[in-house]
Chain A
């Protein structure tokens, strides 16, 4: 982090707190960190530690109870309408469940990534200009699915579907990509390939990446920075190249309850 102090900060999160269920569940508790341009940061933590909630604050899908979020120099909190859409065009989001439209072909799904550049609604591949169709095919080819352009996405395997979603995100020409557990529903071998496609493309296009991951080994393979979340709090923030040791990382996954019960049940006592 010291090495990049002078770079422009792409993501700045200051004292963000978020609760659900009438303040009975604290999802994020006073979280602060920032990500400089070009960094590949990975957020690790258990299910329910607040990773998804955090990422969803960065493109305005959640609003915090308290704190500030700046992305690409824009204050996200309270942003709405055209200004929010403008921000989202520059912020790619890769979802755990892919969130592509199953009945549409691969090419049309990728083309929806260009909607931000177009005016008015589009329906069907032929409603997009030819130059954009070619661009979409290029992105699809980059993720290795160029030969499947006109296949319906609900006929693809999970890994292929996520690659279509990545191509859609790249089609946006984003400055930063937020990836929320992009491989959580894929098997280990496919996971590696999908992470490879995602990070390689982002490095090629010099896109800043903030990605949440469940698996530590995958995180260590790609990230140049690790942020650990536990029960909505940052418990680890370290560059990867300085010989980070395993016990520090595993500390993120420490359960508060020795009997191994769900940590959610302990959150209210944490909050009080």
Chain B
């Protein structure tokens, strides 16, 4: 265990040394960054009409992409769940598709599809849809595997057929978590949809690329700020809708009863006298409860959105339907037939990519662990510190890492250094949120125990809280490393170093086998890190 820990840290330290970044790099490079910010000031938004149109494009790309992903991922999730499909090889095929689509970043899919379907919204939608199938399929399969067995058994015992059992015993248990997962994914997809334009796949990213190319920095900053605001709005809306659909008030204890000190025995006398209703006149249709209204309006809004997707943007249903079946063919072209595509410089690029991943996640962690404590409601020294920290994180998290990379590349020049810095900032927001959320879940008993010995607040945080959150800090850190290496593969597309530049060249020159070969190697690296992380996680928890 210690060997693994020490080697992780030493690889991270070596990467930081090799790439030449450290937490103070931002300070040392303040002249360059300040210079750039000076040229960016004041942020402006020109040509509001076209920009508004690309904002709409961006959102509906995310929406249609998510819809496609849900349609594909639902059957896939069922096929991958061990309590639904007993035939193991079928499950492995489903799991394989899930792992593959999840491992390839949507930006890479977009890179490929832009070459096949030409520049526009369509390749973006397909890229988002295909990549999201992976995460949604995994979440769906997991939530199907976690359902209670008893209600299903109850339905089977009535003599229901297989399809009836799935509809009556399984579906009601999973629908809320399915909707929540889809909404969460819509949120993530909107973030990535803002970036896909960088490789020509439509949306607001096209504008960013144009401004970057034309060195129109005030407009670049203006659009960036607009994106941040939109991402925050989408996240807040999606979080609220999710908690309305997931949350339900199970207790029937009224406020008055709570005042009186909880329910008394008399409140539960409902069992004693059977109450009869008049069968012939009683209503046989469900009343419009809050839950039912929420579900119906959710369905209605989704349908309206889908209609708007095709009427407000230049996407057409026909293009989509003819484009979808071509995907397997496109992916088949990527399979390398020989090793002719290999160039020795790829090895250095790949090593650099992994080192960038380590460096960025390490930098993010070093800052995120202490700030995680400040952003946790139950540990933060004061209410206002907690509130400030949370708002700060929300803002940082809304910064798309690739846009930050574009800006840093503009300020510091090409290479891994701006890439790592941008990635570290993106990961920092994400990591702080993960840590703060897990700190908020610690139990109070041990903390009271430590306080009762007369310790100070800081001592209590170290002895009462830290031991409780250590397992989740370690496992979240491993998860971050995983995410970090995935993301570092695409930084090169905007000049941020690593293998991304080779991927971009491969797509531009239509070297499909080279692109496919590199993707397989990336997949193997990411997958082995994931396996290693899974193994470490199991040993700790």
Contacts and interface: CB of A to CB of B under 8 A. Distances in A.
Contacts, number: 138
A122 interface: yes
B268 A121 contact: no
A62 interface: no
Interface in B236-260: 248, 250, 252
B150 interface: yes
B279 A88 contact: no
Contacts of B155: 101, 112, 115
Contact of A138 (B158, B169, B279, B289): B279
Interface in A176-191: 190
Contacts of B272: 193
B160 A150 contact: no
A120 B164 contact: yes
Given A99-B151, A99-B153, A122 B276 contact: no
A144 B169 CA distance: 24
Give the one of A85, A87, A101, A113 with max B CB within 10 A. Answer: A101
Contact of B156 (A88, A105, A134): A88
Interface in A101-123: 101-105, 107, 112-113, 115-116, 118, 120-123
B286 A88 contact: no
B440 to A, nearest CB: 26
Interface string B416-447: 00000000000000000000000000000000
Given A121-B167, A121-B168, A144-B274, A134 B157 contact: no
Contacts of A116: 158-160
A190 B165 CA distance: 30
Interface stretch (A5-13, A157-165, A221-229): A157-165
B163 A130 contact: no
A160 B270 contact: yes
A170 to B, nearest CB: 11
A157 B159 contact: no
B247 to A, nearest CB: 13
Contacts of B274: 143-145
B285 A93 contact: no
B168 A115 contact: yes
B154 A98 contact: yes
A39 B252 CA distance: 40
Given A95-B153, A100-B151, A144 B275 contact: yes
Contact of B154 (A123, A138, A159, A165): A165
Given A99-B153, A103-B176, A157-B270, A168 B275 contact: no
Contacts of B286: 105, 107, 125-126, 150
Contacts of A214: none
B38 to A, nearest CB: 58
Interface string B282-316: 10111101010000000000000000000000000
B164 A99 contact: no
Contacts of A115: 155, 158-161, 164, 168
Contacts of B160: 85, 112, 115-116
A121 B164 contact: yes
Interface string A124-156: 011000100110011001011111011010110
A130 B284 CA distance: 7
Nearest to A87: B159
Central interface residue in B153, B276, B284, by most chain A CB within 10 Å: B284
A44 to B, nearest CB: 23
A71 to B, nearest CB: 13
Given A134-B279, A149-B277, A168-B158, 15 more contacts: A86-B159, A88-B157, A90-B159, A93-B157, A99-B150, A99-B157, A100-B151, A115-B161, A120-B163, A126-B285, A144-B275, A146-B275, A157-B270, A157-B271, A160-B270
The 9 nearest A-B residue pairs measured at CB: A144-B274, A99-B154, A89-B159, A121-B167, A116-B159, A88-B159, A146-B277, A93-B157, A115-B160
Interface of B: 150-151, 153-161, 163-164, 166-169, 171-173, 175-176, 248, 250, 252, 268, 270-277, 279, 282, 284-287, 289, 291
